[in-house]
Amino acid sequence: MVRPKTPGRQRSDPERPLCPQCGTPLTEGEDCLHCLLALGMGLPDSTPLDGLQTDRYTILHPLGQGGMGEVFLAHDNALDRKVALKFLSEELQQNPCAEQHLLDEAKAAAALDHPFVCKVYETGDLEGSAFIAMEFVEGKTLRQVLNSRSFPLERTLSIADAIADALQSAHRHGIVHRDLKPSNVMLTPDGHIKVMDFGIARRLEAVQNAVGPVVPDWTHETSVQGSLLYMSPQQARGEPVDARSDIFSFGVLLYEMIAGVNPFHRDTPEQTWQALLAADYPPLTSPSGRLPKGLDGLVGRMLAPDPKDRLQSADQVRSTLTEVGSQMAARQSGWRKWVRSPMRLCAMLLVMVALVVLGLYLGGWSAEPPQTGIGRSDNPQAQAAFVEGHRLLYLRTPASLAEAARKFRQSILKDPEFAAAYAGLAVSQILLASYGIRAPEEVFPEALRVAEKALELDERQAMAQTALAFIRFSFDWEWELAEEEFLKAVELANNDPDTLRWYGFYLATQGRMDESLQLMHRAQNLDPRSWLAIVSLARCHYLRREYEKAVGVYQKALALQPEFRPAHLGLGLVYLKQKKLQLAAQSFRKGLAGSKAHELLAEAFQQAASGDSPSDIEADLQALRAESGQIYLSPYFVAVYYLALDQGQSDRAFEWLEKAFQERSEHLVTLRVDPIFDDLRSDRRFQDLVERIF
Amino acid sequence: MPHDSSKPNPPRWFATTRWTIVLAAGDRHSQYSRQALETLCGTYWAPVYSFVRRRGHSVEEAQDLTQGFFARLLEKESLAAADRQRGKFRNFLLSSVKNYLANEWDRSQAQKRGGGTIAVPIDAESAERIYRPDQVPQDNPEKIFERRWAAALVGQVFSRMRQDARRAGQMKAFEHLKGFLTGEAVGVRYQDVAAELGLSEAAIKVRVHRLRRRFGDLLRQEVAQTVQSPDQVEAEIRYLFSAVE
């Protein structure tokens, strides 16, 4: 084995060495279990293939992993365009016969040329690994957007019409999809759809059947349950399929878009399989209670268990969809007239987009709320609202934080002497600003007022004391006073992970990195499964310029809470420092969400990372930020964007840093230590800014 | 809608992991399901041994108790009566050993049940080496159990990868590239490994990438052997991931 050229492992604890890759304490003589288990979760998201060149393509980064193999974003050097390279799975490559069948099928699919079908370009080989080159489609899968919710009927019908159009074209070419399901339908940013993997995905199973026994693949959940939920009865029985099999799968998908649930979802794959064969599903209903005449009948005919009783072609589905749409439109003409006003339509769409975006943050694993700050009111309603607010606070999503604040207000109304409710309200306000949901100046003044009120009612209210310390430091920029308040908080809640993390963050902004790291580790040890503690530790590594460690720790947090925006943003900053622009842009795309301004900035990062000449976003960004009711976009990230550009536009960066100063952006508290500004430190304007803050 | 189904048997791949075979057998405990359970116990005896040791039993007691526990577990009646509602083999094994220690801690009882029947062979020397009480003195028995569980899982994957490499005549390459899985090779340059193995740098990168993916796939397959349904695989890995801090 070639030995590493890096210096010896660092030790935070003399008894246990740390993993050089992720920083986790190791047991001597044992491999890093953390790194190895991470591989089972598809981490790290960078691979040795990033940047690798073939004759024609430069591989950029992985896009995802499916049952069939792994997909990478690549640049087609010959035609100067982005493409997706789908590498066939290891198991498939070990079966040359199956591999060849699949590649032949891909070549047949390459004949398809339709605006709603993802185009297959060619097949190729990289150092013995076969791949299929196909159109790169940006956007989200229908699965991602659909999760646990139904679609508005109008949108459902328009998506269904586009899918029917794609199927119609493919079936005319004699190509059957075989695996139509929400994760194979992409919704592009411009509102179109693309059906992916025509003729390829399910073909895999067919060729495996032909050349050997069916090998159960339990390694990817989607391979069994995910596909099974959309299989036609013929497929489930292992019989040959034709276009009518796609009609059945399409029926399942349509049902799910309307009802918000899959008709065949059962507790086990076996029960699902039985339900599919019997076409046993609950009657179609829409959560809105609105079900246009004819839609139920259409879905029923698509889901007929016997192919002979089913609608026979995608053409028939399309014409029925058109009828349903027209009848619905006729009955709702009054409503349509209202919507026809462009301003109203625009407003409605914005609300819908905002709801979808906010909804995406809901759910997921969450840390258990620590018990610090738990108070008790004699008023049962005040107590109930407080407990609910406390629970919501620790979900850390935009929606839950806003709702938590509402609950704490309710609690205060019921019991105006309830100190813990005031403290909860202060913390929720702080977090709304810290996570970039509300502008600091909108929330901090109230946060200060209620934190002080809490302490007036109960001077030992630890959560309020921590909140007060955080406000002194993060908003008031009263550094010495802040530390005094933090020390009081630590005295009150020496074992509270939040208090330790926040104080640790304060110490990092003061350049006291070792003390900070120590506290972050302690916070994590107190609450080892909290992604919040992990994110704080990652940020600490970033500020210490330990980028590899920071990446590993951020990824660890994201493995636990994939939608946590601050972790994506933090990871983006680390990647920027590592000059991994594509990965940075990818992280910013996940982290910068919630408003048009966020999306514009994320898009600009992507453009800059792709090497395209960046468009001037300044005017649009200013206008979008000024729109009322928008989720707050910190000027800090705009400044970071200008610094990340190839030629580094420091003048613009300073303009936005000045805005950040005016708006008292929390991110400025790290100004003296934030690596992202290292190139600006000698600039007089930067020094002036530092002097005004510290 | 409701349709007269002929109720054919589902494809065999609905119940092909070891733990689902054990669970599917229910009271009709067969030789087949017993073998599946034996294999699982053979893979995960070390976490049980370490748990017992951390509960304060001496080396000898722990060996006897672990043997006795597995002998009892593999008895037909014991398994049939076991609580299988928890879904995962790890939970089942941990709660079973806790119950066993609570009720059967007496060494003579253990010998009575386990004596003479070696249900799961335990190598005393390696058991102590794996236990390593000095390494994580602050860990409680449950934590030790989880840590050893993750280690057993990972060990199983490495063992399969070594077998594959040996079969393909690729042991030398495997030994060189293994460090890229574990973090041991941080700082090692691909070009240096390429020179040692007489391959191009690109070929090494592709191999490392494939090795990582292969490890991930095998890990998921191994975890799948211990859970009740595919959608528990990811959650189980995440659980272990956060448990090995």
Q: Inter-chain contact A4–B184, Cβ cutoff 8 Å?
A: yes
So what's the pLDDT on residue B105?
A: 58
Q: Inter-chain contact B186–A6, Cβ cutoff 8 Å?
A: yes
A285/A154 same-domain check: yes
Q: Virtual CA dihedral for A332, A335, A336, A342, nearest 10 degrees?
A: -170
Spot the catalytic one: A31, A80, A179, A309. Answer: A179
A183/A330 same-domain check: yes
A212/A77 same-domain check: no
Examine the fold and report which residue of A119, A135, A151 is the final residue of a domain before the chain moves on: A135
A197/A154 same-domain check: yes
Q: In angstroms, how far is CA A556 from the centroid of its own chain?
A: 15
For B52, the token pair is 């017992």
Q: Considering only residues 64 to 93 of chain B, which have any Cβ-Cβ distance to chain A shorter than 8 Å? A: none
Exposed/middle/buried for residue A103 (C-beta within 10 Å: 0-12, 13-18, 19+): middle
- The candidate with the shortest Cα–Cα distance to A645, out of A621, A674, A617, A683, is A617
So what's the pLDDT on residue A98?
A: 67
Q: Inter-chain contact B208–A39, Cβ cutoff 8 Å?
A: no
**Residues of A whose CB is below 8 A from B5:** 274, 277-278, 280
Question: What is the number of domains present in chain A?
Answer: 4
So what's the pLDDT on residue B116?
A: 52
| A406 or B111, greater pLDDT | A406
So what's the pLDDT on residue A377?
A: 81
pLDDT digits 0-9 by tens, B72-91: 877 755 565 555 545 788 88
Provide the β-strand partners of residue A69: A88
Which amino acid is residue B50, in one-letter code?
S
| Residues A525 and A561: beta-carbon distance below 8 Å | no
| Residues B84 and B96: beta-carbon distance below 8 Å | no
| Percent of chain B at pLDDT exceeding 90 | 13
A35 belongs to a structural domain: yes
Q: Could you give the CA distance from residue A311 to residue A251 in angstroms, rounded to a whole number?
A: 10
- Pairing type for strands A57-65 and A140-141 reads unpaired
A416 belongs to a structural domain: no
- The candidate with the shortest Cα–Cα distance to A278, out of B5, B68, B74, is B5
Partner A contacted by B229 (CB < 8 A): yes
| Residues A478 and A472: beta-carbon distance below 8 Å | yes
The interface predicted TM-score (ipTM) is 0.85
Q: Annotated catalytic, A378?
A: no
A565-577 helix and A581-591 helix, angle to the nearest 10 degrees: 160
Over residues B228-234, mean pLDDT = 80
So what's the pLDDT on residue A209?
A: 42
A49 belongs to a structural domain: no
B29 pLDDT band, cuts 50/70/90, is low
- Strand order, beta sheet including A140-141: A140-141, A185-187, A193-195
A273/A166 same-domain check: yes
So what's the pLDDT on residue A223?
A: 46
Q: Could you give the CA distance from residue A183 to residue A167 in angstroms, rounded to a whole number?
A: 16
A480 belongs to a structural domain: no
pLDDT digits 0-9 by tens, B183-222: 777 778 888 989 988 888 888 988 898 888 889 989 998 9
Domain boundaries, chain B: 17-243
So what's the pLDDT on residue A350?
A: 45
Partner A contacted by B198 (CB < 8 A): no
Q: What are the 10-residue block averages of pLDDT along chain A, 694 residues in total?
A: 36 61 71 85 75 87 74 89 85 70 75 86 85 88 76 84 90 86 86 81 44 35 60 85 92 92 83 85 81 89 93 90 77 48 48 36 32 65 86 81 86 86 92 84 88 91 93 90 91 86 93 89 77 88 91 86 88 92 89 84 86 80 74 88 81 91 89 92 91 90
A380 belongs to a structural domain: no
Q: How many other C-beta atoms can be found within 10 angstroms of the C-beta atom of residue A189?
A: 10
So what's the pLDDT on residue A357?
A: 34
B100 pLDDT band, cuts 50/70/90, is confident
A169/A218 same-domain check: yes
A612/A694 same-domain check: yes
| Residues A643 and A679: beta-carbon distance below 8 Å | yes
Look up the domain containing A32 and give its range: 1-40
A649: left (phi over 0), alpha (psi -120 to 50) or beta: beta
Examine the fold and report which residue of A135, A162, A179 is the final residue of a domain before the chain moves on: A135
Of A40, A221, A525, the CB nearest to B216: A40
CATH code, domain with A78? 3.30.200.20
Q: Which residue is associated with the tokens 């809640």?
A: A493
DSSP-derived letter for residue A25 is B
Answer positive or negative: Cα dihedral of B225, B229, B234, B237. Answer: negative
A597/A583 same-domain check: yes
> How many beta-carbon pairs below 8 A join chains A and B?
203
Residues 6+ apart with CB under 8 A from B91: none
Q: Inter-chain contact B212–A214, Cβ cutoff 8 Å?
A: no
DSSP-derived letter for residue A223 is I
**For A83-87, B40-44, B111-115, B163-167, which range has the lowest pLDDT when averaged over its residues?**
B111-115
**CA angle in degrees (0–180, nearest 5) for A348-A353-A356:** 125
Q: Inter-chain contact B244–A33, Cβ cutoff 8 Å?
A: yes
**DSSP annotation string for A662-676:** HTT-GGGGGTTT-GG
A157/A25 same-domain check: no
Provide the β-strand partners of residue A123: A132
| Residues A235 and A205: beta-carbon distance below 8 Å | no
For A320, the token pair is 């029925």
A222/A320 same-domain check: yes
A66/A201 same-domain check: no
Q: Could you give the CA distance from residue A443 to residue A92 in angstroms, rounded to a whole number?
A: 56
A114/A169 same-domain check: no
Which amino acid is residue A295, in one-letter code?
L
DSSP-derived letter for residue A678 is G
Examine the fold and report which residue of A81, A110, A135 is the final residue of a domain before the chain moves on: A135
Which amino acid is residue B232, in one-letter code?
Q
Compute the nearest-CA separation of B245 from chain A (Å). Answer: 7
